A and B are shown apart, each in its own frame.
Chain A
């Protein structure tokens, strides 16, 4: 027996389609004091993340996906992630990441609009897409010089 068929509407919820079409914080600013790059070598997705950290607070954040290299899930996830963490402390951002990851691993829904990605759980091949921006954030906050890839980051 094959598992019950997951619904495309659950994956591509309106909020995801909206953020894919009109991504928020879709900007690069080279003055950012924390930057990171994330790659998903399997599908070619790439994200560049720019984070302005003032003390412990993320005062500004932006992302770019060069050459149209983001699928709807990775782009919407990056957009919603930047919205969610802007103005928050690094500790709050890391705890949102944890909640997001837990949700995709089958746990409870993440808070707020991040719950829109609960449908990704039923599409295992797309979990890396949803996680990409968060891993890049995690790397940026640690000011990791190495690009993070979906193939080397733990817990992908």
Chain B
């Protein structure tokens, strides 16, 4: 396990008290907290190096550009990208997926084609494809999940029979915590001739990611779930695909030359970075990656998996609690319900003990329908969480049971 005492000391927000108690932050699948090192990186950037990038002839602008491009190199190394030119900075996973749908998808998907997603995808890996399919007259095929919360490989195989143009899936489910066999899925999809899009929002913060080993085509990540600022993120792609794609946003920076009636495009990745980029976010993301790499991503994964295992064990001992998702191959996401207590009430009651969890559909309504629930409560762990936090969670859950006089369903 990680040295959580030392790690917690690095996070100013974890020093705050909630109703006189220590803050127990268990909503990390929604967003992570930020260490002082990341906060300092933002302040330092604005205090010392701020200028617009890629255009100034003066030293300060060169420094800002260097900081921005160094961040790109850091992200490329972190996920073992094909090339640093294959790292496009975006506002996060949602924008990354919309970029692929809006550029590669609009160019290559035609009437009668199929796009495949899974029933455990986040809305951000469903809705952009729905919009694309509606525009093109294409079919969106949703792959079913098994009862224990994995992608149904038999149904995945059936979906591939339609020779889809695009196959999109999450590496790690934000709602169930399932770690999907991404490399295997990508291989199957490629054999069927599809381009693969991996939603890496929940894998990048928690696992060692190697996109070349996964051999997907596009990989989307969000910085804010991995210690970095909100509005930071990236699309990692095979450079040849990016080269062949039309721009997504038109504007400054993404052009080579502009004539009265047409333009030519800058080289990748700048072709996809129209407008002044969020340099601060990129710098913060690089600082966050530095922090995670110092801990070691294998240790981070091991720590969270151990916490999830203990949380599942302890929650399952509470009569009336149902934990969702697979028993193994899962990350530090633990969704549960408790008898007839609505998750929204659970979240309010837990908040009184300073325990922050998410309650709701977690932006996965198709999944909730399949689970047969309107909502779940979800505890999700990160590097600063400890067994103490699980104790606080379980104690607060038991209190909720007493208040509601549970009522095991």
Contact = CB atoms under 8 A, between A and B. Distances in A.
A71 B372 contact: no
A44 B360 contact: yes
B349 interface: yes
Contact of B360 (A21, A43, A67, A123): A43
Interface string B1-41: 00000000000000001011000000000000000000000
A66 B345 CA distance: 17
B348 interface: yes
Interface string B140-160: 000000000000000000000
A8 B349 contact: yes
Contacts of B360: 42-44
Nearest to A8: B352
A5 B18 CA distance: 9
Given A5-B20, A17-B404, A72-B342, A43 B375 contact: yes
Contacts of A68: 340, 342, 373-374
Interface string B332-346: 000000001111110
A70 interface: yes
Nearest to B349: A8
A71 B344 contact: yes
Given A5-B19, A5-B20, A69 B375 contact: yes
Given A5-B19, A17-B404, A69 B374 contact: yes
Nearest to B368: A44
B359 interface: yes
A5 B353 CA distance: 11
Contact of B342 (A11, A66, A70, A125): A70
A84 B278 CA distance: 54
A29 interface: no
Contacts of B404: 12, 17, 72
A67 B340 CA distance: 11
Contacts of A121: none
B350 to A, nearest CB: 11
Contacts of B359: 43
Interface string A132-143: 000000000000
Nearest to B342: A71
Contacts of A126: 344, 348
A72 B345 CA distance: 7
Contacts of A17: 403-405
A73 interface: yes
B359 to A, nearest CB: 7
B190 interface: no
B361 interface: yes
Nearest to B404: A17
A45 interface: yes
A46 interface: yes
A69 B376 CA distance: 11
Given A43-B359, A44-B360, A44-B368, A5 B345 contact: no
A5 B342 CA distance: 22
A129 interface: yes
Contact of A5 (B341, B352, B375): B352
Interface string B390-409: 00000000000001110000
Contacts of A67: 372-374
Contacts of B345: 12, 71-73
Contacts of A71: 342-345
Contacts of A125: 348
Interface of B: 17, 19-20, 340-345, 348-349, 352, 359-361, 365, 368, 372-375, 403-405
30 contacts: A2-B17, A2-B19, A5-B20, A5-B352, A8-B348, A8-B349, A8-B403, A12-B345, A17-B403, A17-B404, A17-B405, A42-B360, A43-B344, A43-B360, A43-B361, A44-B360, A44-B365, A44-B374, A45-B374, A46-B374, A67-B372, A68-B340, A69-B374, A70-B342, A72-B341, A72-B342, A72-B404, A73-B345, A125-B348, A126-B348
List 5 A-B pairs, minimum CB-CB distance, nearest first. A69-B374, A71-B342, A71-B344, A44-B374, A5-B19
